[in-house]
């Protein structure tokens, strides 16, 4: 899922004429994730304490730009809806 979300970001960037500083967004995302595997992301910390997250500024932006540019972003849409549902108090567990 992470690789697919990163690929969507790269496609949206490309549609805007933005060249990312790496050739493979999915591979770069995996490298960063591996290097920071012991970290607890700020979004996970927010979700864990029922605080608002930055999902709108991250996946929400990808989805909005994707719609405007005609680039499908189903994985980022799923992430956006899932985190927003959790913020709204709908019950499920993240592990």
Question: For tokens 């304490």, what's the residue?
Answer: 49
Domain spanning 2-87: which CATH class is it, in words? mainly alpha
State pLDDT tens for residues 1-52: 999 999 999 999 999 999 999 999 999 999 999 999 999 999 999 988 989 9
Task: Locate the domains of the chain by residue range.
Answer: 2-87
Please, which residues have CB within 8 angstroms of residue 15's CB and are 6 or more apart in sequence? 65, 66, 69, 70, 71
**pTM greater than 0.85 (yes/no):** yes
């Amino acid at each position: 899922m992470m690789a697919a979300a990163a690929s969507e970001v790269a496609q949206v960037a490309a549609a805007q004429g933005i060249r990312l500083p790496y050739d493979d967004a999915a591979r770069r995302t995996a490298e960063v994730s591996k290097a920071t595997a012991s970290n607890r992301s700020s979004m996970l910390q927010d979700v864990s304490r029922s605080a608002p997250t930055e999902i709108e500024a991250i996946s929400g932006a990808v989805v909005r730009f994707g719609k405007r540019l005609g680039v499908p972003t189903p994985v980022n849409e799923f992430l956006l809806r899932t985190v927003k549902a959790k913020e709204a108090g709908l019950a499920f567990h993240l592990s």
